């Protein structure tokens, strides 16, 4: 197995392993260690069936709970992220986010398998919450560690949110619900349960406020943090290829799907790995 890290050890390519075949305990442990160390890892040239993709996901951990999006028929844990050439609605996943951060136990990992990749555009950008936290002033770090952020799915997945986002004109089927109006408090600075690293753990899509602060105060603080987290030195820009499989750690990374491929189809298959309560 060959592991090639990117700058700052954020992101790495892994080659020399066939993910369509059953993985030994040793190989699985090596993959998990690389994922924990580099936060975003990807495997080129991995042709896989739905069943093989599910088997690999289970090698990483139990399936996560994926609300508000319709799964592939007969495969309740695989969501097809599809955009057709003529679509003119906002990108699915285009706003910076950490997957399902509004859940009581958000997913540890997201797995994405590329099927149809446009010749231009369609990248995914990732932001390193660990380095973003590390480079804050020490006093601000301590202040943030005492705060809880409020998360909700209301912006993209409430009935109003799906309608305003052109949900009725998407090739993907979204499932709006009043459940999306609920809120969930999580630590603003999250300690990774496996590495012990601290990370800024807020995102523009699902984080709607800060507990104990007014809407204006909380909004101002979050805007400052989002701007800080999106600085170029914290970003890894990933270019997909057909049959490439990627995994990232939602406990310390936020991501954003990029456009730039109007007139082309883009199709990927997505699963999540169940997580634990943020602390």
Give catalytic residues, as residue numbers: 97, 99, 255, 270
Instruction: Count Cβ neighbours within 10 Å for each residue of 93-122 and write b for 16 or more, e otherwise.
Output: bebbbbbbbbbeebbbbbbbbbbebbeeeb
Cβ-Cβ contacts under 8 Å for 211 (sequence gap 6 or more): 147, 148, 149, 150, 185
Least Cα distance to 271 among 67, 29, 66 occurs for: 66
Closest CA to 36 of 181, 179, 229, 247: 247
Angstrom distance (rounded) from CA 42 to CA 10: 12
Bridging pattern class, strands 245-249 and 40-43: antiparallel
Could you tell me if 272 and 107 are in contact, meaning their C-beta atoms sit under 8 angstroms apart? yes
122: left (phi over 0), alpha (psi -120 to 50) or beta: left
């Amino acid at each position: 197995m060959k592991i090639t890290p990117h700058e700052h050890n954020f992101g790495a390519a892994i080659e020399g392993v066939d993910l369509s075949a059953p993985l030994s305990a040793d190989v699985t442990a090596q993959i998990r260690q690389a994922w924990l160390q580099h936060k975003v890892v990807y495997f080129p040239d991995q042709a896989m069936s739905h069943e093989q993709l599910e088997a690999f996901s289970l090698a990483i951990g139990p399936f996560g709970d994926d609300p508000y999006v319709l799964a592939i028929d007969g495969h309740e844990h695989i969501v097809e992220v599809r955009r057709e050439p003529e679509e003119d609605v906002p990108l699915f996943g285009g706003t910076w986010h950490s997957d399902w951060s509004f859940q009581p136990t958000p997913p540890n990992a997201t797995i994405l398998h590329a099927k149809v990749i446009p010749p231009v555009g369609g990248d995914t950008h990732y932001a390193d919450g660990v380095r973003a936290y590390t480079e804050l002033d020490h006093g601000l770090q301590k202040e943030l560690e005492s705060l809880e952020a409020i998360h909700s799915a209301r912006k993209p997945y409430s009935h109003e949110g799906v309608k305003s986002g052109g949900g009725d004109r998407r090739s993907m089927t979204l499932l709006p619900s009043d459940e999306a109006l609920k809120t969930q408090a999580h630590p603003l600075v999250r300690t990774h349960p496996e590495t012990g690293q601290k990370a800024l753990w807020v995102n523009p899509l699902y984080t709607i406020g800060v507990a104990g602060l007014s809407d204006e105060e909380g909004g101002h603080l979050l805007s400052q943090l989002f701007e800080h987290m999106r600085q170029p030195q914290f970003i890894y820009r990933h270019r997909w290829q057909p049959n490439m499989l990627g995994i990232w750690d939602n406990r310390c990374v936020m991501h954003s799907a990029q456009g730039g491929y109007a007139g082309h189809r883009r199709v990927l298959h997505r699963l999540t790995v169940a997580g634990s309560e943020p602390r």
